[in-house]
Amino acid sequence: MSAPQAGPGRPWSPPGPQGLRRFTTARRPREEKCETCGAPLGGERHRHLVDTEKRALVCACGPCSQLLDRSGGPNGRFRAVPGRYLSDPGHRLDDTAWELLRIPVGVAFFLRNSALDRLVALYPSPAGATESELEPSSWQTVLEGTDLGALLEPDVEALLLRRHGGRTECYLVPIDICYELVGRMRLRWQGFDGGAEARADLDAFFAHVRGAARDVQGSRS
């Protein structure tokens, strides 16, 4: 996914024409179709591909997901979003590191842009996904502060951080759920701090991530 030509704190361009739309409108599962072959997807959860050329999340059926991920599709631009969730309870991202990130809210995610070969820092806001541009030393602090940094797959995975209750949670997650989070916050955000409904939804989202994630140290044993 290419980065926007915008300064710090500016809205991030949605990831392609579908972008956040599938996460900010009422779902109609029976109408969902594979965006490559047109096959109905039904109401079941399906795979996503990242079109690295168009910065798009593409809904895909199982066969298309496997085929395009293997071959790369036209110009080798497609990559399947993996399904792994990892946690790093022993990360070294403290308050000082968080301040370096220049993130005004308590949630942020970081993806490596393969085209620019740099980390992009994003956070949810009423306007959608907003970018905080980082100095190289700052994003290097993020990568070195957790064992998950070395495992991050470009374009399709993200480091997801939450600063809450005096501590920071650190996860490696599929990129599509980060955009799902952005869409959910955009729908529910009220007032200056998001409001009770948005906070409850955020708690539920991280409870799901926490339950799905494997400890990165345990996964290597």
Q: How confident is the model at residue 220 (pLDDT cuts 50, 70, 90)?
A: low
For residue range 90-117, list pLDDT tens digits in order: 999 888 888 887 788 889 999 988 877 7
Range among 28-37, 53-62, 177-186 with highest mean pLDDT value: 177-186
For residue range 187-215, list pLDDT tens digits in order: 888 776 677 888 899 999 999 999 999 99
Which of these, 173, 168, 183, lies nearest to 125 by C-alpha position?
183
Q: Is the pLDDT of residue 119 over 70?
A: yes
Q: How confident is the model at residue 57 (pLDDT cuts 50, 70, 90)?
A: confident
**Confidence at residue 95, expressed as pLDDT on a 0 to 100 scale:** 84
Q: How confident is the model at residue 12 (pLDDT cuts 50, 70, 90)?
A: very low
**Confidence at residue 87, expressed as pLDDT on a 0 to 100 scale:** 97
**Confidence at residue 153, expressed as pLDDT on a 0 to 100 scale:** 93
Q: Is the pLDDT of residue 17 over 50?
A: no
Instruction: Report the alpha-carbon distance of residue 38 to residue 35 in Å, rounded.
Output: 6
Range among 1-10, 56-65, 174-183 with highest mean pLDDT value: 174-183
Find the radius of gyration of the CA atoms of the chain.
17
Instruction: Report the alpha-carbon distance of residue 114 to residue 117 in Å, rounded.
Output: 5
Q: What is the pTM for the complete model shown?
A: 0.80
Average pLDDT of the segment spanning 5-31:
44
Q: Is the pLDDT of residue 171 over 60?
A: yes
Instruction: Report the alpha-carbon distance of residue 32 to residue 34 in Å, rounded.
Output: 7
**Confidence at residue 204, expressed as pLDDT on a 0 to 100 scale:** 94
Tokens representing residue 187 in the block = 């729908």
List Cα–Cα distances, 162 to 36, 93, 108, 191, in angstroms.
35, 11, 7, 20
For the chain, the maximum distance between any two Cα atoms, rounded to a whole number of angstroms, is 49
Instruction: Report the alpha-carbon distance of residue 135 to residue 120 in Å, rounded.
Output: 10
